[in-house]
Amino acid sequence: MSAREEILSAIIRARPTKVAPAPLPYVAPAHGDPLQAFADRATRANADVRFVTSEAEIPLVIAELLRARNLPAAIHVPPNATQVPWDSAPGLTLEQSAPGPEDAAVAIAPFGIAETGTLAYPARADAPASWHFRAGFEIAVLRATDVLPHMEDVLARLKARELPSTLNFVTGPSRTGDIEQTLELGAHGPKALAILIVRN
């Protein structure tokens, strides 16, 4: 028997005699009430989560959040935040320009992921992807009906439409431990994050 034949014979003898069973389909674990799971996990990630009963409450809660942080009563508003009745908080100044690192900004969150307490932001013309990395304090507005159990649910919804050029996932304030393993907030985005969940 040649060396080649010996090698091939050894390979054939080493083959498994039983066929491995097909892998089971992945089933994502259930988390009970998705809305409460989202709120709990986002809070654990250092987000300030608050529930509001209607969009009319949003400007009032934003004004309260700004006061509590000793920030000016000014908020940067993206083009897709037109459904919010901003005149319900008359002392609040609206800025239409892109926010900077010392500013507070609103972001309309299209999706929340209960499994991780994460906000999902697909890029759109009226909601630029860069918006979520500029402000020092981001206030996300999320409808309770847009909280989905798992990331796969968000991806399935996006596949039903045209896929966005960018999809950003935000869990709590921006943080890094790259430098001397010291936690630093705001390295790549907001130092603070509040999430207003609209129940209606």
Please report the pLDDT score of residue 54 as a whole number.
Answer: 93
Taking 90 as the threshold, does the pLDDT of residue 5 lie above it?
no
pLDDT above 80 (res 195): yes
If you write DSSP's letter for every residue of 51-106 in order, what string do you get? Answer: EESSGGGHHHHHHHHHHHTT--SEEE--TT-TTS-GGGSTTPEEE-SPP-TT-EEE
**Given this model, what pLDDT does residue 62 score?**
96
Residues 39-96 pLDDT 10s: 999 999 999 999 999 999 999 999 999 999 999 999 999 988 878 999 888 889 999 8
Instruction: Reply yes or no on whether the pLDDT at 178 is more than 70.
Output: no
3-state helix, strand, coil in the chain (%, to 5): 30, 25, 45
Residue 141: band (very low, low, confident or very high) from pLDDT cuts 50, 70, 90: very high
pLDDT of the residue at 153: 92
Q: What mean pLDDT value characterizes the chain?
A: 87
pLDDT of residue 57: 95
CATH placement of domain 32-198 = 3.40.50.10420
Reading the block at residue 173, the tokens are 């304030």
Helical ranges in 121-170 per DSSP H:
131-134, 151-159
**This prediction's pTM:** 0.81
Element of type H or E holding 108: strand 104-109
Q: Tell me 128's DSSP state.
A: -
pLDDT of residue 77: 92
Residue 35's H or E segment, with its range, is: helix 34-44
Determine contact, residues 81/108, Cβ cutoff 8 Å: yes
